[in-house]
Amino acid sequence: MLCGEIMEVTTDIKRNDLIRFNLAILPRMRSTYVTILSIAILVFAFIAWNKGFPQSNNDWFVIIAAAIGGGVGGMFAGVLISFIFILFSSSSSNGILGKHEYKLSSEGLYEVTSSNEGLSKWGGIQEVKVVGPYILFRISGFLFHIIPKRSFSTTEDMHSFVTEALEHWKNAHNKAN
């Protein structure tokens, strides 16, 4: 695990990792709630336009319940479609699934897969944290590198890796401010 000053880990990303990660991150993302609210407002507006503005308490209850149900249902449908897309578009040939080697250095997070390799500099990484059974490196809004906790021999190795990553990340972001 420790190689001089560079920490590294090798993992094997599977389809179920992508689904589990998305399920773990979904409730923590502001965009989830913005989407639900946006769909709910659209449902409310459509019902009010189609049936008229609510006139009684019962009408208000029905239209609000329908709007909330529509928002949650719409979000659920979107997540389901997203999962189907993830399952069909992810493969080891495009570097999403399969073996990933990650190395931490003072420059950034270095990744090697069967189809690509690259460096994400610490200043360009938006977030580093543990979410459920995964360590996440948020590169941009919806682009992540994930490392399952199972990739480490011990919990201590995982904590050392996370601590080192957070230290590099905080140093890069403190310089930027």
Q: What is the tens place of the pLDDT at every residue in 110-119?
A: 999 989 999 9
The pLDDT value given to residue 2: 44
The reply to whether the predicted model has a pTM over 0.85 is: no
The answer to whether the beta carbons of residues 127 and 138 sit under 8 Å apart is yes
> For every residue of the chain, which 3-state class applies, written as one string?
CEECCEEEEEEEECHHHHHHHHHHHHHHCHHHHHHHHHHHHHHHHHHHHHHCCCCCHHHHHHHHHHHHHHHHHHHHHHHHHHHHHHHHHCCCCCCCCEEEEEEECCCEEEEECCCCEEEEEHHHCCEEEEECCEEEEEEECCEEEEEEHHHCCCHHHHHHHHHHHHHHHHHHHHHHC
**pLDDT of 1 higher than 60:** no
> Measured between alpha carbons, how far is 72 from 65 in angstroms, rounded to an integer?
11
> Measured between alpha carbons, how far is 128 from 33 in angstroms, rounded to an integer?
22
| Domain layout of the chain by residue ranges | 2-14+99-176, 20-89
The residue with tokens 């560079």 is: 6
Q: What is the tens place of the pLDDT at every residue in 11-64?
A: 999 999 999 988 888 888 888 899 999 999 999 999 999 988 889 999 999 999
Dihedral of CA 158/103/101/137: which sign? positive
Instruction: Could you please state the CATH topology (level 3) that the domain comprising 2-14+99-176 is classified under.
Output: PH-domain like (2.30.29)
